[in-house]
Amino acid sequence: MPNFSYQIQSKLPNAATSIFAIMSGLANEQNALNLSQGFPNFPVSRELINLVTKAMNNGFNQYAPMTGIIELREVIADKFSSLYGINYNPETEVTITAGATQAIYSIISSFIQKDDEVIIFAPAYDCYDPAIKLNGGKTIEIELHAPEFDVDWNKVKESITDKTKMIIINTPHNPSGTVLSENDMKTLEKLVRGTNIIILSDEVYEHIIFDKIKHQSVALFKGLAERSFIVASFGKTFHATGWKMGYCLAPAELMAEFRKTHQFNVFSVNHPMQKALATYMKKPENYLGLPDFYQAKRDFFLNAIKDSNFSIIPSKGTYFQLLGYENISDENDVDFAVRLTKENKIASIPISVFYNNKIDKKVLRFCFSKNEDTLLRAADILCRI
């Protein structure tokens, strides 16, 4: 292409390429085991794939309705009613999205205006802050206390101002693998009472939670549910991250505002996959088995690395395990992760990238959503470091 030098006034001057693209790219280039970006390396259910094929063969290949097909919205509403005892109206309170990422972007875009403040908790999943900035908002980052990564609610209280428009929570939490407790949720409920604050609750790992811990959805707390968007991802729940399918729920008034943005953001999302998911989700066993399925993977991985030099606090949810390397190296986590990928042929995610000020806790994140052979090969490498 001819080189035309255009004066770009970047809206995201400090945004680097996402760490997931960088580490997966490096893993491929180095032929390393890729436990960095979070995706399963085992197949999607054959039944679900057959349902997609059937929907395509049956002609569901044109635009789906803007808000998603009603059968899928109904089965989602049924799930929330049976798991959390809350009734969302499938017509007005559920929307199907292109993954959780698009839901998150459209929610932020619908409500955040210039100089609005949004509270997030760091380490924070990487798509929140850029979406806030692109809409003129200001990110107020509150640090979670390592190694438990718990929330200092006094700090949250002090950080709420008359400009606070939204608080984003994420449980089970990526990257730390911790979860919010019932007490955390009740404290948050009390803090936002009488304010105009919207909660964006990122619950993409709602079914990936261990040791019989109960997932504390905002749906369980009246004072939260009435002001919350819940965001979910079929990619996480059905081992199909490449499908980029998700959904969100919110009270009708908030959802109506969201849909104004959503219709111009994507209009509607993949039709045959919605058909397939609607049928597949009618059997709750297709998602209720996930805690046991992933807990077995976590335990298998942790058992295989128990004699390694890494420090370990078992993940309580998500398919990520943090490993501390303070007994192994003084290098910063980005350099260490890159070196492990190049020299030891195992890729992970350095967690400093999830903080605005890039705090280095000497911790790496490993994805255990892998088959046993991969987990054993990973453990073998990690035990030799």
Write out the residues near ligand GLN by the rule CB under 6 A. Answer: 18, 20, 37-38, 174
Q: 305: alpha, beta or left, given left = phi > 0 and alpha = psi -120 to 50?
A: alpha
Per-residue contact string for residues 24-53; x = within reach of ligand PMP by CB under 6 A: --------------x---------------
Which one, 172 or 272, has the nearer CB to ligand PMP? 172
**C-alpha–C-alpha distance, residues 223 and 190, integer Å:** 8
> Is residue 341 within 8 Å of 347, Cβ to Cβ?
yes
> Is residue 207 within 8 Å of 287, Cβ to Cβ?
yes
Tokens representing 212 are 């019989």
Query: Per CB under 6 A, which region of 49-57, 134-142, 234-242, 269-277 contacts ligand PMP?
Result: 234-242
Which one, 170 or 308, has the nearer CB to ligand PMP? 170
Beta-bridged to residue 230, according to DSSP, are 201, 249
Query: Per CB under 6 A, which region of 6-14, 60-68, 97-105, 277-285 contacts ligand PMP?
Result: 97-105
In one-letter notation, the amino acid at residue 68 is G
The residue with tokens 């088995």 is 289
User: Residue 368 binds what, of ligand GLN, ligand PMP, none (CB under 5 to 8 Å, by partner type)?
Assistant: none
User: Residue 100 binds what, of ligand PMP, ligand GLN, none (CB under 5 to 8 Å, by partner type)?
Assistant: ligand PMP
Count of residues near ligand PMP by CB under 6 A? 15
User: Residue 37 binds what, of ligand PMP, ligand GLN, none (CB under 5 to 8 Å, by partner type)?
Assistant: ligand GLN
Report the 10 Å Cβ neighbour count for 307.
Answer: 9
Which one, 36 or 268, has the nearer CB to ligand GLN? 36
**C-alpha–C-alpha distance, residues 355 and 143, integer Å:** 8
**270 CA to centre of own chain:** 20
Report the 10 Å Cβ neighbour count for 77.
Answer: 19
Query: Per CB under 6 A, which region of 85-93, 132-140, 240-248, 249-257 contacts ligand PMP?
Result: 240-248
For ligand PMP, the binding residues (CB under 6 A) are 38, 99-101, 125, 170, 174, 202, 204, 233, 235-236, 241, 244, 246
